[in-house]
Chain A
Amino acid sequence: MKKHPISMTTLVLGIMTLTGTVILSPHQSAAQANPVRVEVGKEVKECLRCHSMETLGYQDKDTGKLVNLHVPLARFSTSNHGELICTNCHQKGYDVHPHTKKAKAETLYCLDCHDDPKNPKFKDYRFKEVEAEFKKSVHYERHGDKFTCFSCHDPHSFEVAKKKVETAAIIEQDNAMCANCHRSPVRFADITTKRTVPDLEATHEWLPNAQLHWSKVRCVECHTPHDQGNFSHVILKKEQAERNCVVCHNKDSILLTTLYRHRVTTSREKTGFINAAILNDAYIIGATRNQFLDWLSFGIMGAAGGVVFAHALGRWITRKRRQK
């Protein structure tokens, strides 16, 4: 191998010095004017040095509200963003500590990254369509830009339903998003500024077994339109919510297209159970039926009726003979 005029060592040292100068020199010269900053953000653990502190946060001077800066690591690493590093999203001013003034001015929006519908990774998620749907929802209608993606979705811990194995986990995560405001007088009053949070038990009094429903299906099952695919973001006005039981409690339950959409592809008719896929998680009156048992019921009732009819006929035919 021909010896290169610049040896590897020189190259490496050169780069190091250059980087070093680039990093340290502006700080050294501005040491008096600016606080001393160190570089962070190359790895998640560097940010987590502070952001794993559970009580990291401050009271905002303008609003007086507590701003919580804690990022729960366990949930982040299993979330959809788990493979990213912090500075992939938090770019301006966060790559040094103490963070610069630019950091506070950061405005993040999901579609900053997720806007390319042609990107195969994001295709399934239809972000642009979701944005359009959201704009039709009652949340956007009532609160406009005050209501953002982050009002419901915590980007540090969000796990898309497809990833989850247990239906119960999906229901828990999704319902927690609704409950976060709709069960919190403080947060509800925050966003709506006028109204007190309605009592969910009272508004759902018409629903039999409301508690059981809340633990077995998601709010959005009834509060979004059914004809718009799997994860519609059009949260409807409460007057438009579904009240017809039979929409779920029948053979062609809509739950198959929503909560259980990922199960539909699994084997169905093996044991003759319609919607057997759901059976691992729930028993839904009217939706989870067994074809064979249904045929059996018709058969047995038919047989009983038949025998009775034949016997009656026999007695009628022999009535004269019996009277003798």
Chain B
Amino acid sequence: MSEQTKKSSWTRNIVVGVLGLAFLGWAFMKWGYPVAFEAYTGLTNAPLTYQSSKVVNEREFTAMVKEVTHEARLKKALAVTVGEKDDFARRVKTDMLMNTRSFMNDNVFPHIDIFDKAGIRQYVGPSTCLECHEKMHVVDESGARKEIDTMEDVLGTVHFQFQSSKQGFTTYGYDGREVNGEGIRGIPVGKIDRACGIPGSFSWTGWAKLVETKPAAKNGEVEIRSEGCGQCHIGGGYHPATERMLPIGDVPEEIKQGVDCLICHAQNYDMNERHVIKDEFGLRWNQDRKLKTALTVTKPTRENCLFCHQHNLGGDLEFDTTPLNSSNKNLGYKNRRLLHAGAKRASSFTPTTDVHAKAGLSCTDCHVPEGHKVPRGVKGVDLVANDLPGKPVECTTCHTAAPHLKAKDRAILNGHVDRLACETCHITHLRPDNVVLRDWAHPVWNEEEGVFLPYDLLLSGKANEGFDFLWFNGNGTFLANALGDNPLGNGTYNPLMNQLTRITNPAALATIGKNAEKLKEFYPDLDIKTYISEVTDTLSQLPPEMKTKRVEMINNNLRTIMKDGKSKIYPFKLFNAFMWEDMSNQGPFGAMILPFDYPIYYETGKTLESMKKAISTPIVKRMYERPFKEYMMDDFMSYFGVDGWKMIYPIDDNGNARNVEKHWMRQMGTLMINHGVAKEGRKCEECHDKNGILNFEALGYPPERIKDLTHLPEMEARKASK
């Protein structure tokens, strides 16, 4: 073979080789990856179909339109006939007007016309929306307008992914590193794997479950109820978009078609469609895909957000101030969803309870989105991922730094803005069912619902009981403890060794004592003294060397972060939970919290069994193996304050639990409270009093300053004049 042909055959070989590899790679990702994924994680994907997605004929369509526009037409007609004194005449005339062509065509929902003209007679899913909305325009921070792919935009949001491995968390690990900070290899963190004292910490273990309940009203008959983290996911799959958590791969097309556009965009979304369904591939959540619902699409309103976010604001049991179509009043046509007692933040956002809701503001007025990306704000305590990390959501954006306009003391009140957050004075209480202490390890049978429920040792919406005040500079720890420091302080402010590890409030202690006694009725072997001391002095759960290490870590790793930035006093909802923990992975700030399997927990109350079932899900098993250890668990535990992840699986070969113990978290979790804003704030004497709600000493004020603050000459004079 001549030189020339030798060269050309080499070139040919290389080109063929490269193309071949590329093809193999593509083929693997298309066909091999899904199989490998399912085998490795034990999670399924399958085409998603929804019964509510039906084709309608013309007659049905017209009827639908009439129904959907009824309220608006009625309102308009009534406004016109307001002069008619005779009731009957008015009714007839109103009816006539409502059915006239001009009234029928004046559509409050623009998509009625659009669907009609386009001949759309079925809402299939995202593909229906994407027929027109495949691309959309957003205006970003710098004011530039750009075109984006709608589906990709949605799939990239925290609402879909439930995690992020990018920079933008306002959280610091107990090792002093910013979570996914600059220069640090980011790991996927977020609601999907947030370490917290709740069973849903690892969303896979309780994504979509059916629970057999035995409510008292049904006299022994079983009622099947729905439960699971997936109820608030905008996707419809069998698991929480796990592919997006792994280094390679994406959710398959069929799962992308499971995105529920309507739950955010449809004004008339029917929450009764949101229940668990069982098909041949597994359990997943149903959606409302009726064309009737799709006709009512608009930009998201407050009601849309509250379908899901009501749970963590006012709570599931807020019936008095929520609208008729709210999620807690529409539990499902079948397999009704279980409601959760004990509200998470218990800060209500309804017109009766919040001044902004009353003013008709919607969530997106403050949480201004870019495309589908919604900002949380630049301050945060918990590990929830943020679509737009740099975008502020602050009172001062609208209210400026001089927000008080009318009061005689307005200048001084504005002066307080430098030191206190607006929320400190303007959110005066939480709902009384605010859960502060929840014991998951001692469930108690609930007759009404017919399930075992965790025992709430303390519920309170009052200051110093259900929530307390801490310095906050916008950052939190890995386990949601507010970080900050007193700018005038003497260095004594140390909440992680003081107020977050002790309960000293007399009213709270009294309630705890009472409730512990009640619990003993169900658990006679309960050692009340130890039980109470462990929750009111959480550090007593630590062995001495851990305690010393804790002090060291706070001083070496967290002090600088606490002093960073500008600190103000904010109100924080307090929370602690009694859970099973994997003690092979423990540190001075806690040990790895283990999840519960919902059906076993609710049905039998056997917590250990429930825990063992939950951690037997394949993906949790994978967590205890080397690939996950290297990929993220070591980093995760470092943030947790533990030296490296030990792959000692908490169940041994005989099926017994290994090295697990029940514990309260070693410090109270603190959650920001930002909703339920009142027009009138607190009065001066609520804080400027030696028995005020602010514990100045715990907040690190020096004694002379405390004296000044609690004995203001003006307060003394007012008291004297009375």
* Residues of A in contact with B (beta carbons under 8 Å apart): 27-28, 31, 35-38, 40, 49-50, 53-59, 66, 69, 97-98
Contact = CB atoms under 8 A, between A and B. Distances in A.
Contacts of B415: 50, 53-57, 69
B721 A55 contact: no
Interface residues of B, number: 24
Between A35, A36, A66, the greatest number of chain B beta carbons within 10 A of the residue's beta carbon is seen for A36
Contacts of A69: 411, 415
Main SS of chain B's interface residues? helix
A61 B59 CA distance: 60
Contacts of B401: 55, 57, 66
A36 B721 contact: yes
Interface in B393-436: 400-402, 404-405, 408-412, 414-419
A97 B412 CA distance: 11
Interface of B: 400-402, 404-405, 408-412, 414-419, 708, 713-714, 716-718, 720-721
B721 A56 contact: no
B418 A59 contact: no
Given A38-B714, A66-B402, A98-B408, A57 B721 contact: no
Contacts of A36: 714, 717-718, 720-721
A56 B411 contact: yes
B414 A57 contact: yes
6 closest A-B pairs by beta carbon, nearest first, are A53-B415, A56-B415, A38-B713, A55-B418, A55-B417, A54-B418
Given A36-B717, A36-B718, A97-B714, A56 B408 contact: no
A55 B713 contact: no
Contacts of A35: 408
A57 B402 contact: yes
A49 B419 CA distance: 14
7 contacts: A36-B717, A37-B717, A54-B418, A55-B414, A55-B418, A56-B414, A66-B402
B720 to A, nearest CB: 8
A49 B418 CA distance: 14
Given A36-B718, A36-B721, A66-B400, A57 B713 contact: no
Given A50-B412, A55-B416, A59-B405, 7 more contacts: A28-B721, A38-B717, A55-B415, A55-B417, A57-B401, A57-B411, A97-B714
Between B401, B415, B416, the greatest number of chain A beta carbons within 10 A of the residue's beta carbon is seen for B415
Contacts of A54: 415, 418
A55 B396 CA distance: 12
A59 B400 CA distance: 10
Nearest to A53: B415
Contacts of B400: 59, 66
B408 A58 contact: no
Between B401, B404, B414, the greatest number of chain A beta carbons within 10 A of the residue's beta carbon is seen for B414
Nearest to B719: A36
B548 to A, nearest CB: 39
B721 A31 contact: yes
A66 B414 CA distance: 11
A313 B412 CA distance: 92
A53 B410 contact: no
A1 B331 CA distance: 97
A101 to B, nearest CB: 12
A55 B416 CA distance: 7
Given A36-B717, A36-B718, A69-B411, A58 B402 contact: yes
Contacts of A57: 401-402, 411, 414-415
B721 A58 contact: no
A58 B405 CA distance: 7
A58 B406 CA distance: 10
A58 B412 CA distance: 9
Contacts of B720: 36
Contacts of B716: 38
B368 to A, nearest CB: 24
Contacts of B402: 55, 57-59, 66
Contacts of B708: 49
Nearest to A28: B721
Contacts of A31: 721
A6 B718 CA distance: 36
B565 to A, nearest CB: 15
A58 B411 contact: yes
Contacts of A40: 713
A58 B414 contact: yes
Contacts of A37: 717
A232 B12 CA distance: 86
Nearest to B412: A50
Contacts of B718: 36
Contacts of A55: 401-402, 414-418
B415 to A, nearest CB: 3
A37 B720 CA distance: 11
Contacts of A50: 411-412, 415
Between A28, A54, A56, the greatest number of chain B beta carbons within 10 A of the residue's beta carbon is seen for A56
A253 B716 CA distance: 64
